[in-house]
Amino acid sequence: MQLAASNSIEDSILVADIGGTNARFAFTHAGQERTPLLAQHRVATADFATLSGALLDYLSRHPEQRPTRAVLAVASAVTGDAIKITNNPWAFSISQLGREIGMPVEVINDFTAMASVLPALQIDDLQAVGEARPSNRALATSRCYAVVGPGTGLGVGGVIVQNGRAVVIQSEGGHVGFAPGNAYELELLKVLLTRYPRVSAERLISGSGLGNLLQAVASVEGLATLELTPAQITETAAADPDGLCARTLRVFSELLGSFAGDVALALGAWDGVFLPGGVTQKLLPWIRDGGFRRRFEDKGRHSAILQRIPTQIITHPQAGLLGAAVHAIG
């Protein structure tokens, strides 16, 4: 599906997708069949002391572009002028940032962008997990979707489609309390409660949470704890499919499935759950072949409903940027 571009917006727009680890920038504009992403560029957030510094550096690289405004999707709650990115040190005032980069700035939650991107995705941008398949009902039909994605943190959003128009539900659902689904997961929670006064879902089901989960699994199984990065965990798991890291990724897949099913129940997202995020893409084989779908459907009296809900991984490499662009021109 593709959103129709508004003919009233002909200007160049600076768009960004800003997470805990990376920031991605591009320019877009309306007037084409598909939303363009021009001059794409990625930086590590650790390489710049401030967001304004990163934006000004990017703008200086492309003097031929003359954006009149900026739309920034950030991994943070957006409740006022003051913004603090959840998993990196950047903090800023929206109004002050606009003055520093010389244009009006709109800031949206990163999962608002992820939810906004859904109508713009093509078939090749999605990979199904499980047997349930998307409905072929007309777009005018009332629908509800959920978006759940582990990146550096854990994002949650929703989309309600009514009479052909999409309304995005903003959320910080990744910070709800972690809910164990069995005795083993209860033991994982007990381990983490010795480290954190409150254990959110994000503490386990995210890129940053993978290290927590690895250490908790090791502790529950009576093994020596390891300090590994998410990349090292996935590499070690691939090399040793029966080892601690592989078992951790299987647990991760089950926890993600259980959480995604809970989000579907909470939002009434009977039409589908989409899973974006770099972590999701990197762990696609573990999610597709592991216990994700079993735990997604394992909802007691409502299991029959969950069995009918399709789950799809978003494989578009710049879904967050594209979502910010769709929001900007929509």
Tell me whether residue 125 is annotated as binding.
Answer: no
Tell me whether residue 47 is annotated as binding.
Answer: no
Sorted by sequence, the CB contacts under 8 Å of residue 9 that are 6+ apart come out as 29, 30, 328, 329
Tell me whether residue 86 is annotated as binding.
Answer: no
- Which residue, chain included where needed, has tokens 């072949």? 289
Tell me whether residue 242 is annotated as binding.
Answer: no
Tell me whether residue 73 is annotated as binding.
Answer: no
Tell me whether residue 320 is annotated as binding.
Answer: no
Binding residues for ATP: 16-21
Binding residues: 16-21
